[in-house]
Amino acid sequence: MRFVYAFLPLSWRPGKLARDTMILTTGLGLRALAQALVFLIVARVLGSQGYGAFSAALAIAGVWVHFCGLGGHVILMRDVAQDPASFPESWALTLAVLGVGTIPVLILYLASARWLLPGIPWILVASLGLGELVFWPFANAAACAYQGFERMGRSARLMLAPVLLRLVAAVLLLAAVFQRPGTDCLILWGGLYAGASLLGALYAHYRVRHDLGRPLWAGWRGLGAFVGAGLPFALIGGAHKLYVDADKFLLARLATLEVTGHYSAGYRLVDLAFLPLHGLLNAAVPRLFRAGAGGVVRTLRAVGPMFGPPVGYAAAAVGGIFVFAPLIPRLLGAEYAESALVVRWLLLLPLLSLPRLLLQRVLGVSNAQKLGMIAVMAGAMVNAGLNLWWIPLWSWRGAVVSTYAAELAMILILSGMIGSRIWKK
C-alpha cells in the first residue's frame, strides 16, 4: 500500500483516516475471502447436520469469549491511543486479566454447551473452547494494540493470520476426507480448528514482542480500575454475541441440527458480505476515542462524515446478496437449497445493522459505555425471548423475524439514550 502511495501526486493521496480505512478494509476483504473459502470447504465437507453442530457450539463459545479478557483489549486500545507510552503497563494488565479470566470462563462454556447441546460430541465442544476461549483472545488483543498505535496495516495482518491458518486447516480436512472417506470429519475439524488458533496466538505473541516491546508489570494496584473500565465492553460484546448467535444454538436445541445448518449457512453468507463495513468503523475508533473526550455532540460530529460510504456499501451488498442467493446450492451442495431462502429473508440485515453499530460506538467512546451495554443487553434479551417464542412456531423464519425486531429495538433505545444526553447538555 505504501509503495502505491509513493507514486501518487500529493494532492491525490488520501488523508490518514481514508488511508487507514483502505488498509483495514483491504485486510478485512482478504479476511472475508479467506473466511468464505473456509466456510465453503467446511460446510460442504461436514454437510448441513455437521455444520449445524459446529455452528451451534461455536455460537456458545462466541458469547463467552468476551468475558475471558473482561474488555481489556478495548481499554488497551484506548490507553495506547491516548498515550502511546502507556503500552507496556496496559499490555501487562491485559495479559493478566486474560490469564486469570480464561479458565473460569472455559468451565462455564463447557457446562452451558453440555446443557444446551447434549447431542453434540464432547470432543468437538472442548476443541472449539480451546480455540475460541484460550488462543483467539490473545491474538485479538494484539491486533487492538496495533490499532491503538494506528498501525492499521499490522493490525489487519494480525486479524488475517488466524483466518489464513484456518484456511490451511480446512484444506487439510478436505485432503483427509479424500484419502480416508470414513474419517470422522466433525471431530477432526475441531482439532484442526484449535491447532490453527494456537498458531495464530503464537504469531501474535512474536509480532507484539518484536514490534512493540515486552509487558511491564507495575503491580496489582491498577488492575481494579482496568477491569472496571473494561467490564462494560465485555458485557456489551457478550450481549451482542448473544443477540447475533442465540438463534443458532436455540435452533439446535428447539429444532434440528439440519435446520440449524441451513440457517447458519445462510446467516454466514450475509455476515461475510457485511464484513468490509467494519473497516471504516474500526479505523476510526482511535480518533473517536479522542473525540469522545469532548462528549456525545462532538462524537456525533466526528461520526457524521463517515456515514455516507457505509450506507452506499450496505445498499450494494443487499443487491449483491439478492443476486447471489440462487447460487448457494451449487456452491454448498443440494442439501443447502433452503439456505438460499434464508439469505433472501436476511437480505436487509446489513442496512438495518449499520445505524445501530454507529450509535453504539458513539456511546462507547463518549464515556457512556454502560448505556451502550444496557441497550445491547436489552436487544439480546428481546432476541433470545422472541426466539424462544417463535422458533417452535416458525422454525428458522422465527429466528429471522426475531433478529429484525431486536435490531429495531436497539436502534430506538440507543437513539433515545443519545437524545437524552444531548438534551441534558
Q: Mean pLDDT per segment of 10 residues, for the chain of length 425 residues?
A: 39 48 62 85 92 93 88 82 83 86 92 89 93 89 81 78 92 89 84 94 88 78 78 82 88 91 91 71 62 62 67 83 88 89 91 84 72 84 93 94 94 88 70
The shares of helix, strand and coil residues in the chain, as percent rounded to the nearest 5, are 90, 0, 10
Tell me the C-alpha distance between 169 and 330, whole Å: 23
Q: Which residues lie below 8 Å from residue 337, measured CB to CB, with a gap of 6+?
A: 328, 329
- Write down the pLDDT at residue 372: 76
- Write down the pLDDT at residue 3: 36
Tell me the C-alpha distance between 319 and 338, whole Å: 19
Has this prediction a pTM greater than 0.85? no
Kindly state the DSSP code that residue 104 receives in the 8-state scheme: H
Name which of 364, 383, 372 is nearest 413 in CA terms.
Answer: 372
- Write down the pLDDT at residue 79: 81
Domain chopping of the chain, boundaries: 20-424
Name which of 210, 163, 160 is nearest 35 in CA terms.
Answer: 163
Q: Which residues lie below 8 Å from residue 63, measured CB to CB, with a gap of 6+?
A: 238, 241, 242, 245, 246
Exposed, middle or buried by CB within 10 Å (0-12, 13-18, 19+), for 351? middle
- Write down the pLDDT at residue 6: 39
What is the tens place of the pLDDT at every residue in 298-323?
666 666 666 677 778 788 888 888 88
